[in-house]
Amino acid sequence: MTVLVIAEHNNQALNPATLHAVSAAAKLGDVHVLVAGENAQSVAEQAAKVVGVGKVLLAEAPHYAEGLAEELAPLVVSLASDYRHIGATATAFGKNLMPRVAALLDCSQISDLTEIIDDKTFVRPIYAGNAFVTVSSDEPKLALTFRAAAFEAASAEDNHAVIENVSTMPAQNLSRFVSRELTQSDRPELTQARVIVSGGRALGSAEQFNALLTPLADALGAAIGASRAAVDAEYAPNDYQVGQTGKVVAPELYIAVGLSGAIQHIAGMQDSKVVVAINKDPDAPIFNVADFALVGDLFSIVPELTAALKN
Amino acid sequence: MKALVAVKRVVDYNVKVRVKTDGSDVNIGNVKMSMNPFDEIAVEEAVRLKEAGKVTEIVAVSLGEKKCEDTLRTALAMGADRAVHVETDAVLEPLAVAKLLKAVAKKEQPQLLLLGKQAIDDDANQTAQMLAALLNTPQGTFASKVELEGGEVLVTREIDGGLETVALKLPAVISADLRLNEPRFVKLPNLMQAKKKPLEKLSPEGLGVNIEARLNAQRYAEPKQRQAGEKVANVAELVEKLRAVKAI
């Protein structure tokens, strides 16, 4: 059985998030990757190198340049007859696009799935990760979004899949791209980072958030995350948020600084390998999931930790 | 213009849900139920658009058991003008919900359809996108800003790397993210007034929508429990332990 994976990219580079969907989809069968964009030949070439990819479908048109769901969904539907499963990584891109595809195909979607039992049975989290449900479907087609943190990234370096140009669909012109404001950062991308330093409300201000966490993250080569409270208080931009409604991460090391550990936050980081919590409140729920707990004042502990790591 | 807002009754966000010991379901008997937090934000946005003179009428819709009436009354108390309840005891999957909302939208002909980006019980994040697909309208998902301007709606969306803005032709479907607004508290007099506002009852059969379940939930399981680890006395000990487990 062949699976169609929709590639996420910016017309120049394949987003590493897609590598997780490829490795997940490879458990279901041969993987074809759709690259829809404008002047996206180089993305198709990158996709062709990903292990597990049997074929790359390249669709190029100006109206595919910005990844608008209104434009991409009819294209995916036009290719759907060859596939039983169509999927993408459960990023903002995948979450936006796949349900539109599913509805046009009149099929169900299994969102944010964490485990593939067989070609019709999947496990996914519900209630902010407080329960996992095993769902099956006998429908002839299924839309899937894969949780990146639950599947290894496929190797991007060791394959030579064929690239085939496919027909495009006429522009729908229901929506128009206006602008994009990306957070500038030299740090590793949050969902791909090996180490994450995450801050909460106790940091007190945006200045202190940056002054304390940036050097620590630099010392560790880490990405910076935040709790919802920290984001709402504007200590950090929205796209730093880890949790049920932000990003779900599973790094090797997660250092939670001055965040209490609400259900909704734990939902986004509980699969991290090693969790360190630094908090002055010994009863903070974050300590229930931390491997190493340090109770004390973060304003003295964090600089001390940064200094110790530099040595 | 008319706005339609879809609201869902869910287990309150503060409740920690447990799986039944036999794995047949989650245990939500006798727990506090509330309006899905993302839907509250959608209602608030509709009310603000009405207060700004952009929207003339707000219709709140909820689908499900009888008690969804409570959720609709909350929406009415927040400022919705009238409510539509599609009553059914069946389990509704997002595709079925989208089809029911489409049927209601065909009757009501709203220009703006506002939903939450996801329900905090099933965490599906599908309904708004499916509804937009079925209506063949544009979608502005994960919205943190909504502006009606010259026959279009400008939606600023929360994406992984930051924000993006799209312009959508009307009618359009918008799904609210947490940052869109801060929902108002419902005051008692408003709750009393809400009891007098019209609440129409419809049924899936009456709307001619097939809501038969397609997915089979085979079993439910608790997540792997992380154990609380050990307390360390100071930074030096922490660094030593992290080196020992090769985390740094």
A142 neighbors A25 (Cβ within 8 angstroms): no
pLDDT of residue B94: 98
Judge whether B69 is closer than 8 Å to chain A, CB to CB: no
**A236 Cβ contact partners less than 8 Å away, ≥ 6 residues apart:** A199, A206, A209, A224, A226, A230
All residue ranges of chain B with pLDDT < 70 are: none
pLDDT of residue B29: 87
- Chain B hits for A261, CB-CB cut-off 8 Å, are none
Contact across the interface for B11 and A179, Cβ inside 8 Å = no
pLDDT of residue B153: 98
> Is this complex scored with an ipTM above 0.90?
yes
pTM of this structure: 0.96
Shortest alpha-carbon distance between residue A207 and chain B (Å): 20
Q: Which residues in chain A (198-237) have CB-CB distances under 8 A to chain B?
A: 220, 228, 231-232, 237
**Chain B residue closest in CA terms to A194:** B247
B136 neighbors B166 (Cβ within 8 angstroms): no
All residue ranges of chain A with pLDDT < 50 are: none
Shortest alpha-carbon distance between residue B154 and chain A (Å): 9
Judge whether B154 is closer than 8 Å to chain A, CB to CB: yes
A190, A195, A201, A206: CA torsion to nearest 10: -70
Dihedral pair phi/psi, residue B40, rounded to 5°: -60, -40
Total beta-carbon pairs less than 8 A apart between chain A and chain B: 245
pLDDT of residue A158: 86
Q: Name the helix (H) or strand (E) containing A259.
A: none
Judge whether B232 is closer than 8 Å to chain A, CB to CB: yes
B54 neighbors B170 (Cβ within 8 angstroms): no
What one-character DSSP code corresponds to residue A13?
S
Which one, of B9, B232, B3, lies nearest residue B119 by Cα? B9
